[in-house]
Structure 1
């Protein structure tokens, strides 16, 4: 492995979001809307994010990370950047129209993450780099992060060009992502100040049976 590469406290580095498709809506929410709920926002909705969602995304991200690290994985301009270039690789969870959790990803074209992966989208890549997952403070400790990641990975299985997903996280988050099906690749070459990270991957293409049986 190459020597550790230092990056200032500014990039996307830690985990603490597609046009709406049918399987993203929970089964219990597909029934007809009761008469009393007509003309109201859906109780729960999963959809891709757009540049118009950037401020809401950044507010959740800032609150989640500033108190811990003093910095955000993605700055507001970087959030807008990825939501403009590859909105289909994001997923937001909305409760009655309010964003409560999100994931932002982009495409990458190498086996391991490098400094460039923090800010670039490689349109011809086959690896999805998961930049950030964050949940609004009032909705934490409810399992929403795990549910959102599960739905995101289900969606990636329907994208024929995606071979795998990768991310980098601090050591204490490794068990969380292992429960979602990620495997450890090893230490990341990217460091942020004194912080070091573990790189992990999820073999999207390896789930061919599930792809064939998911309605994709």
Structure 2
């Protein structure tokens, strides 16, 4: 999961009709399923893990059209709210449906988790617009299973990372790794969370190992013909606690 995502109980392809609401720059038709498109960092993502480009990224015309208010910071990290659900889903479905035909989380699941456990999410905003995010929930078993895809167990000590997605205009800039480091640091500040867990395709295992995740073997969850490796990361003594950088 380059890096972090959960799928709904129904594993078939869902409707990709346009979701109303959200910023104007997100309300646009999607490419047809199957069109080659670079995916974001996520549990089922194939996004490249190349380091960020040296030059500072520029907002694309669609995002630049969002008029910046003086009260909005240029760059901000914060937990998501249910009001951010539409923006998150627009980013996610563009990345996943066009590549895999399914999403880790659909709009109703996103709202579900952002209502029950918003503290286990983290969004990256540029001038008030969401450009990347992670959504997680708590799990109370040693290994992930089908129920963990849609359930939040408040008594659990494992943070299940359902999805990590980056807006198409901000990929290939190293935002996924930065966001994941910040998210792990965010989890480490919560005493109830002892471990982080996720499922990803085999090609992404080396990426997650850079962040202290260890492969636990094949995941019990499969999606159609897709199979995954389950990875866990202990938050006690994790390298991010000793990391001293601007990330």
Q: Would the TM-score normalized by the shorter structure come out above 0.5?
A: yes
Give the 3-state SS of the residue equivalent to 1:61 in structure 2.
helix
Displacement of 1:134: 0.3
Q: Look up the match of 2:12.
A: 9
Match of 2:38 in 1: none
Residue 121 (structure 2) aligned to one of 90, 95, 98: 90
* Shift of residue 68, structure 1, vs aligned partner: 1.1
Distance 1:115 1:38, change over 3 A: closer
Checking the alignment, whether the CA contact within 8 Å between 1:7 and 1:191 is kept in structure 2 is no
| Count of matched residue pairs | 186
Where in structure 1 are there 5+ consecutive unaligned residues?
1-5, 17-36
2:236 aligned residue:
205
**Residue 154 of structure 2: aligned partner:** 123
> Are 1:174 and 2:205 an aligned pair?
yes
1:164 counterpart (182, 190, 195): 195
The structure with the largest helix share of the pair is 1
Select the residue among 133, 151, 163 that pairs with 1:132: 163
Partner of 1:103: 134
Give the gaps of 5 or more residues in structure 2: 1-8, 15-41, 46-67
In the superposition, the TM-score normalised over structure 2's length comes to 0.71
SS of equivalent residue, structure 1 residue 196 = strand
Task: Report the Cα distance in structure 2 between the residues aligned to 1:209 and 1:179, rounded to whole angstroms.
Answer: 11
Q: Is this contact kept in 1: 2:212–2:238, CA < 8 A? A: no
Partner Cα distance (2:81, 2:168) in 1: 22
Instruction: Summarize deviations over 1:64-102 as a string: whole Å, max 9, x none.
Output: 101111111101000000000000000000001010000
Partner of residue 188 from structure 1, selected from 219, 225, 229: 219
* Contact in 2 for aligned 1:108/1:121 (Cα 8 Å): yes
Give the secondary structure class of the aligned counterpart of 2:141.
Answer: coil
**CA 70–208 in structure 1, closer or farther in 2 if over 3 Å, else same:** closer
Residue 61 (structure 2) pairs with residue 58 (structure 1): no
Q: Bigger shift: 172-181 or 202-211?
A: 202-211
1:128-186 CA deviation, whole Å, 9 max, x = no partner?
00000000000000000000000000111111111100000011111111122211111
Equivalence for 1:42: 73
Partner of 2:57: none
Query: RMSD of aligned C-alpha atoms?
Result: 2.4
- 1:15–1:134 CA contact under 8 A, matched in 2: no
User: Is residue 69 of structure 1 aligned with residue 104 of structure 2?
Assistant: no
Distance across 2 between alignment mates of 1:124 and 1:130: 16
